Structure formats: structure tokens, C-alpha cells
Amino acid sequence: MSQGTRAAGAAAASDVAAHARRRRTFAVISHPDAGKSTLTEALALHAKVIAEAGAVHGKSGRSGVVSDWLEMERARGISITSAALQFEYDDTVINLLDTPGHSDFSEDTYRVLAAVDSAVMLLDAAKGLEPQTLKLFDVCRHRGIPVMTFINKFDRPGRSALQLCDELSHRLDLQPMPLTWPVGEPGEFRGVLDCSDGSYTRFHRTAGGASAAPEDHLDARQAEVEEGAEWTRAREESELLAESGGTFDVERFLDGTATPVLFGAAVLNFGVRQLLDLLVRLAPRPEPRLDVGEQPRALDAPFSAFVFKVQTGMDRAHRDRLAFARVCSGRFERGMVVTHAATGKPFATKYAQQVFGQQRDSLDVAYPGDVIGLVNASALGIGDTLYEGKTDVRFPGLPQFAPQHFAVVRATDSGRFKQFRRGIAQLEQEGIVQVLRSEIRGDAAPVLAAVGPMQFDVATQRLSTEFGVPIQLDHLPYSVVRRLADPQQRATVDAGSRSEVLQRTDGAELALFNDRIALGMIQRQHPGLSLEPLVAGED
């Protein structure tokens, strides 16, 4: 290798590392109705990439939030699919992933968490930690994802700041480290005390919260004069928490034993700028990802990425298909030909796009941490790896959740069977539902398997609106599923009065049972039956 070639390679590696340091890739997670999509929009507003914030049930003349674009999302006021927003704030590139708010779509949320470097845990000040939040936090802890906490809706009556921090400590074994502290009781929220320097930021409302909230910045002496007892209480409470171990420590944040805490009201844009500044300052930068052999893929290695989401129907005019991929290493350039690890075949990236909710623009280059959209990527599936160069690269696949709800689906118009079959295949590729089949049921009556029943609602609407196929769903009584390790034992399970074996598209043989009693009965009758949990650790 010539000296000039080595120098060029070193310069390229340095360029990749410099761009990676500018990236912050994170997800917003919460229980439904905690204000997650509203916060996502407020962050974009403070970064000045949108001119006005909307609301899901938008007021007259105002649009819905940019991250909720499906008809069902706008109608029901919840996120049912993840969304990606990329924008710049100061000199930092933000890759923000909004996650589904309903537990029925937790599998989609899990995929998103596989693609981020940190998470913002959003809590409702009135409700505190809720079941879905607890589950999502457990996923973050398992994956080693640092979590910062934003306590939302402090403009409404709710629990005290001390109660909410105490809940984090006792229910999650997570030390709260407040960076801001609310001045004013919940429902009388005025502003925040900056725990690092003791200054005061006072917020002012805008019409409907459509624009960034104006702020007054006062020193501690001025704050005490103007806010009196409320300021004194805020200062004393924040000092009490600091003395009990709540002083900020970046190492504890990164190792997952503590969480920075901020207070605000996303719908009014109160405290949002402080959160955005925190993300830029403290959120982890992209680091080398482990491949299937648990070897770290260096950031300056040739381009590699993995697909964590597939979505169609974002552009109604074209009905194209978009694969979302997280860049793990190297410099991506639109038009480069990469290798699809699952097939070993070349994949052209001519139609790469940058995504901002439903809006999309052509993307020329991307770096580690970025999320790129690949259009008409029919060959790509969730968990697939793409890479440049001759050395094979594979990142770990994304596991499927164990379904708990099952229904036979049929097209009510037999003349639309071709469209029906194409629609079912598309929903399966996107991970909207799992699709199970058997020779007895046939292709005209596959079984849809879902983590939650709302997935059936999405499937029904998508088939009707995108493929013009009205369907009939016949729900099955099964609620317990196991993997049948030995296909030769299929007849044994099929012979049961409350069990059946169906095959997933990946070839897995799934044994379905009405309930745990039915499962236990067949295991006692046939002790040699090879049944395995679909998810590690499942009973």
C-alpha cells in the first residue's frame, strides 16, 4: 500500500469518526397518553425544524403531530407505529425515534430500541410509573441503554416532585439525579431551578402551546424575591435529593444505575429546550456495534447497517416500501452497491432518503448513528444486515415476540384473492402481524398471530384501504404458544382437542394451546414432546 493510499484511508476514517461524534440517536418511550408524540414534536419545534407544533386531535387550522401520520393514529390519538425524525440542532445531528404508545405494539418498540444509543423515559406527573413504562425500562436495562427521565404534564394537578423521584428509586432501583427542579406545585408550574448553578428559568405560555415558550432567566437572588416561598421550597427539595445521592454523575447515567431527571410540560413547550440541550451534552455518541460473533464493528470500518423497521403506505401516491436502517459503521453514499447479508446478493441504494415523520428527502451521505430510508427495498426484511466490502458482516437478528392472540383471516370477496395474498405478505414483512399457515387451513385462510388485539385492527384497515380487500376475522381460542422442536411430533399436538400446529414463514413449527391447562395436559400424556419457549426466560 502506498503512502498516499494510507494517508487517504486515515483521512476517511478520521472524517467518519468526526461525523459520528456529532450524532445523537435516541428513542422516546412511555406508557400510552403520557405525551410522547407531543414531546417529539416539541423537540423538533425547539430545534426550529418546524414552525408550529400541532396536536393529534389538532385544533382548527393546525396540523397533527409530524410523527403520527397513519389515519388510525390521528383518529385514536395514539402512536401505533414508530417514526423517525432527523434534524440538526446547533452542530449536532439528532436522530429521534418516536415509538408506539400502545402495549399491543411493543414488538415495534423493541426493534426501535435495538437501533438507538439512549432513551428518554417520559412520565406523566399525575400517574408516575405505569405498566408499559416499566416493561420498556426493563428492555433498556437489558440492552444497556442509558435512560434520561422527563417528567411531563407538570402544568396539571399531579404528584409532587419528591414523590415521583422516590418512585423511580424504589420501583426501578434507579437513582434519580435531577438536573432541573420544578418551581410551583403540579398545576401551578412556573419554571425550573437549574440544579447545576442555582439559577431560575421562568416559562410563559403561548397561544395553545404552538410556539416555543418564552423564558426569563433570573439568578437565585432575583428568583427568591419574585417567587418567594415556592422558590425556597424548590431549592430545599432539590438540595435534599442531592444530599441523598442525587448529585449528577455521568458515569452512573451511562452504566444505567442512575437517571438524569428534568421537569416540564411538552404541550406548552415548558422545559423542552433544557431536555434538548441535555441530549446534545450527555447522550451517548455512536459506539462500535457487536456482530453475531460478538466482535465490535469499528465505526471507521467499511459501511454496514441493519434494518430495524419496514413500512409501506407512507406515500399514498406511490405506495412504496421503505426500509429503515441504522448505520453502524463507515460512510454511506447514495447509489453505492452493498451486499445483502441474508442472500449474499448486491443491493443498490440509488433511492436512499432522509426521513422526517412522513416527509422524505433524498439523502446523499450518512454516518454511524444515522437512520436511512431505503425505498422499494422489497428484498429487505427486519433484522437484515447490509455491508460494503468483501468481508461478511452480520449483526444479531431481532427476535419476534410470543403472540398471545390468534385469528383466521379470509377475504370476503373471492375475486380479490390475489390482492389478499399480496397484502398478507406485506403485513408480515413489515412485522405488523405474524402469519401462520397449515395444509389443512390452506392459503385462503391463514392465521394472524399478534401480541395485542389492536394489531388486528391495523391489519384490517391496511388490507381494506391499501389493497381494497375487506376481510373476515374469526378469532381462535388459543393463548399459549410453544415451538415444536421435532416436526415429526406434529400429529401428536394436532390430535389434541385444544391444540394445533401451524408453521411460520421462517419455517418454525408453532404449537398453539387454548391455555396452560391444555399445555400441561398434553405434556403429561406425552412426556417426550419437544416443546420450547419462543422467548428466552418464558415459562
Label residue 500 exposed, middle or buried (CB < 10 Å: 0-12, 13-18, 19+). buried
24-282, which class in CATH?
Answer: alpha beta
What number is the average pLDDT over the span 352-359?
74
What's 128's DSSP letter?
Answer: B
With cell 423517525, the residue in question is: 84
Residue 7: pLDDT over 50: no
pLDDT at residue 348 greater than cutoff 50: yes
- Whether residue 234 is predicted with pLDDT greater than 70 in this model: the reply is yes
Distance, in Å, from the CA atom of 261 to the CA atom of 149, rounded to the nearest integer, reads 5
Distance separating alpha carbons of residues 93 and 25, to the nearest angstrom: 8
Using pLDDT thresholds of 50, 70 and 90, give the confidence band for residue 443: confident
Distance of CA 169 to the CA centre of its chain: 24
Helices 36-46, 272-282: axis angle to 10 degrees equals 80
Could you tell me what percent of the chain has a pLDDT over 90?
A: 63
What 3-state DSSP class applies to 309?
strand
Give the model's pLDDT for residue 60. Answer: 35
Stretch 162-175: mean pLDDT: 96
Question: Which stretch of 23-37, 93-107, 114-128, 471-485 has the lowest confidence by average pLDDT?
Answer: 93-107
Nine-digit cell at 139?
428492555
Task: Tell me what pLDDT residue 107 has.
Answer: 74
Question: 538 or 38: whose pLDDT is higher?
Answer: 38
| Rounded average pLDDT over 246-255 | 95
Superfamily of domain 289-387: Translation factors (2.40.30.10)
Rounded-to-integer distance, Cα 368 and Cα 16, Å: 8
Output the pTM of the full model: 0.83
Domain boundaries, the chain: 24-282, 289-387, 405-532
What pLDDT is stored for residue 99 in this prediction? 76
Residue 2 reports pLDDT greater than 80: no
Q: Are 373 and 324 a contacting pair, CB within 8 Å?
A: yes
**Lowest-pLDDT range of 126-135, 151-160, 342-351, 358-367:** 358-367
Write down the pLDDT at residue 263. 98
Mean pLDDT of 80-87: 71
pLDDT grade for 446, boundaries at 50, 70 and 90: very high
pLDDT at 251 over 90: yes
Highest mean pLDDT among 30-44, 242-256, 370-384: 242-256
pLDDT at 515 over 70: yes
Residue 44 banded pLDDT, cuts 50, 70, 90 = confident
The mean-pLDDT minimum among 54-68, 174-188, 232-246, 421-435 falls in 54-68
Q: Name the residue with higher pLDDT: 148 or 4.
A: 148
Instruction: Report pLDDT for 148.
Output: 97
**pLDDT higher than 80, residue 237:** yes
Are 386 and 341 in contact by the 8 Å Cβ rule? The answer is yes
Has domain 405-532 been given CATH number 3.30.70.3280?
yes
- Nearest partner of 47 among 277, 284, 286, 283, judged by Cα: 277
Can you say which residues are annotated as belonging to the binding site?
98-102, 152-155
C-alpha cell at 414: 373471492
Tell me the C-alpha distance between 376 and 359, whole Å: 16
Residue ranges of the binding site for GTP: 98-102, 152-155
CA gap 527, 535 in Å, rounded = 21
Collapsed DSSP state (helix, strand, coil) of residue 232: helix
